Amino acid sequence: ETGVTQTPRHLVMGMTNKKSLKCEQHLGHNAMYWYKQSAKKPLELMFVYNFKEQTENNSVPSRFSPECPNSSHLFLHLHTLQPEDSALYLCASSQGVSSGSREQYFGPGTRLTVT
Amino acid sequence: AQSVAQPEDQVNVAEGNPLTVKCTYSVSGNPYLFWYVQYPNRGLQFLLKYITGDNLVKGSYGFEAEFNKSQTSFHLKKPSALVSDSALYFCAVRERQKLVFGTGTRLLVSP
């Protein structure tokens, strides 16, 4: 596998619940990303962190709240989600964001279902 | 804004035959182009990238891609397809800090 782990792999939550997704990378990278993958849509970048600092927020609703305590860990806190938020949430990491040539390494994703 | 297009939702090929998955790009400046593959219930796996240099890029699992500047294309190819190559393939282009992905092409390799 890729050295990027995500937990849980599957999550079902009601619209009033609060839950968190966790991502950990074991590759020594310093940039981490959250993507949303919905059926029939391109992957959507949500957030970018570089050396623990958020460098991009792609107009994501405030019901999604990221947290990056260090370069190896990334969380996505969820609250009062909507059914249309059901998707596969992918975490990725790379060796920095400033160099455009670096590929990103993805985790297996968390399949989220909002009921 | 940078973008890529994958004109085919699905490509069908028989095992042992050559395969091509198409990608065209629209960028300002020199493109950084990538191919990723996604197997069922998995994240995306990096296959190969074009940054500069030789237009024919070789990657993982016997895949290669040809960068064609005049046609603004970056098609993924493999000389002999395997059933295990069946998956979802994404082309992507670098834009500032992020990758911009195409909509994906499902490759089905029949025995």
Considering CB atoms only, which of A31, A48, A101 is closest to B51?
Answer: A101
**Could you read off the pLDDT of B54-92 as tens digits, one per residue?**
899 999 999 999 999 999 999 999 999 999 999 999 999
Q: Name chain B contacts of A2, Cβ cutoff 8 Å.
A: 43, 45
pLDDT at B32: 92
pLDDT at A31: 92
- Higher pLDDT, residue A52 or B19: B19
pLDDT at B86: 97
Q: Does A108 touch chain B (CB under 8 A)?
A: yes
Confidence tier at A42 by pLDDT (50, 70, 90)? confident
Q: Name chain B contacts of A4, Cβ cutoff 8 Å.
A: 43
Q: Name chain A contacts of B49, Cβ cutoff 8 Å.
A: 101, 103
pLDDT at A52: 84
Contact (CB<8Å) A100/B103:
no
The answer to whether residue A35 scores a pLDDT higher than 90 is yes
Q: Does A50 touch chain B (CB under 8 A)?
A: yes
Write the CB contacts of B108 (distance below 8 Å, at least 6 apart in sequence).
B10, B11, B12, B13, B86
Contact (CB<8Å) B43/A97:
no
Contact (CB<8Å) B45/A41:
no
Looking at every residue in chain A, the average pLDDT score rounds to 91
The answer to whether residue A5 scores a pLDDT higher than 70 is yes
Q: Name chain B contacts of A21, Cβ cutoff 8 Å.
A: none
Name every residue in B having a CB less than 8 A away from some CB of A.
Answer: 32, 34, 36, 41-46, 49, 51, 90, 94, 97-104
Share of residues in chain A with pLDDT > 90 (%) = 73
Report DSSP letters for chain A, one per residue: --SEEEE-SEEEE-TT-EEEEEEEE-S--SEEEEEEE-TTS--EEEEEEETTEEEEE-S--TTEEEEEEETTEEEEEEES--GGG-EEEEEEEES-SS-TTPPPEE---EEEEE-
**d(C-alpha A100, C-alpha A95), whole Å:** 10
Write the CB contacts of A95 (distance below 8 Å, at least 6 apart in sequence).
A27, A28, A29, A30, A31, A102
Contact (CB<8Å) B97/A56:
yes
pLDDT at A85: 95
**Could you read off the pLDDT of A71-100 as tens digits, one per residue?**
999 999 999 999 999 999 999 999 876 666
pLDDT at A1: 53
The answer to whether residue A2 scores a pLDDT higher than 80 is no
The answer to whether residue B111 scores a pLDDT higher than 80 is yes
